[in-house]
Structure 1
Amino acid sequence: MAANTPSLDLPLFPLGTVLYPGGQLSLRIFEPRYLDMVRECARTGSSFGVCLILQGQEAGAPALPAAVGTLARIVDFHNREDGLLGILAEGGERFRVTRTRVRSDGLVRGDVEMWPTEPTHEVPVELALLQSILERLIENLAPQWRHAPRHLYDDASWLGFRLAELLPLQTDEQQRLLELTDPVQRLAELRDILPRFQRA
């Protein structure tokens, strides 16, 4: 990361899952610190950061977040049947946390450096099978992507991020794939993981 990269002050939401650029995340909001955060984001149009929890829990005492996370922009609100606030957030750019602090209400805030968006890279022919695998996963698990434009399947970044969020990976694997900066390397690692999920 370049030394002159500007640093942003961002509220962080440590979670037990990884949000990828372009991904969607449904959240149930009930703790006062996060209700306040959502209100602030809605009022100012700002984003919050989603980081994988390294130590701790989603609720209760502040958790230790991973150093690399993803911007989340709220795209929808709804009242859930259990009376809690539900939000739908969309993943944006990735960032690296350089410093964190905990507010008196328990909300973690971080100074973060934004990562550039990955350049569009065509899926190599030797990894094209992953496109068919993603199509099957989307049909069964992710109806929101069923009408995705065909050209997205040719984008190594989009293909890799969607596979990483839909395959039943361990959280440390999800985090490693988030942190990779070469979209073709990400696809190659996913290809190598796939035999684990094949039926005997």
Structure 2
Amino acid sequence: MLPLFPLQAVLVPGAVMGLRVFESRYLDMVGECGRSGHGFGICLIAEGDEVGAPAVPAEFGTEAVIEDFGTDDDGLLTLRVRGERRFRVLATSVRDSGLVEARVEWLGEVPSVARLRPEHALLGTLLERIFDQVGRPPGADGSIEDAVWVGWRLLEMLPMPEERRAAMLGVDDPHKRLDGLLELIG
């Protein structure tokens, strides 16, 4: 079972996200992840809130691997996590602590590297312009020629409803993901 951290935000593969952890169920989860060396899942909240009663997660999410941790000025635990593997939630259960866990199906990338097609060249150019304006995100090492990498970086950086971002996590084919991004900006 994969412990989940449901949020009002989506983590995509390769993206970095900062988290503030203060609820005991998530503090315990972070401790377990540290001891086991495993990550946890981040899913968009389909129903509920980030704090309080356990939220219902969206169908797709991304494994979060802890890269760094610390405390902020008010003593809360802070994490820097990076998105790794995508997954589909098959079933959930809730621990006595209120932590949601999921049985998941890990989703592969088909293919893991794909050359950017001519019909998607505009998206590569758009990503280069975004990087020119705001810089590359931390650890965003990849090629503008790689359809998989371009798709994930645009999904990370373009403004869009989080529900749409979460749905696009479920798209296995990187070219279909780019087609969806073209529709979004078109």
TM-score, normalized by length of structure 1?
0.87
What is the identity percentage for the equivalent residue pairs of Structure 1 and Structure 2? Answer: 45
Q: Distance in 1 between matches of 2:103 and 2:173?
A: 25
CA deviations 1:117-176 (Å, max 9, x no partner) are: 331111111211211211222343454358734xx2211111111101111101121012
Contact 1:57 1:63 in 2 (8 A): yes
Q: Distance in 1 between matches of 2:138 and 2:130?
A: 10
Aligned partner of 2:93 in structure 1 is: 101
Within the candidate set 75, 87, 97, 1:83 is matched to 75
Aligned partner of 1:59 in structure 2 is: 51
Contact 1:77 1:86 in 2 (8 A): yes
Within the candidate set 141, 145, 151, 1:148 is matched to 141
* Unaligned runs of at least 5 residues, structure 2: none
Within the candidate set 101, 118, 132, 1:125 is matched to 118
Matched residue of 1:144: which SS?
A: coil
Q: Distance in 2 between matches of 1:145 and 1:30?
A: 25
Within the candidate set 4, 10, 14, 2:6 is matched to 14
Instruction: Count the aligned residue pairs.
Output: 185
Aligned partner of 2:171 in structure 1 is: 180
Contact 2:60 2:167 in 1 (8 A): no
The 1:135/1:24 distance shift into structure 2, 3 A limit, reads: same
Q: Distance in 1 between matches of 2:40 and 2:87?
A: 11
TM-score, normalized by length of structure 2?
0.93
Contact 1:12 1:51 in 2 (8 A): yes
CA RMSD, 1 decimal: 1.6
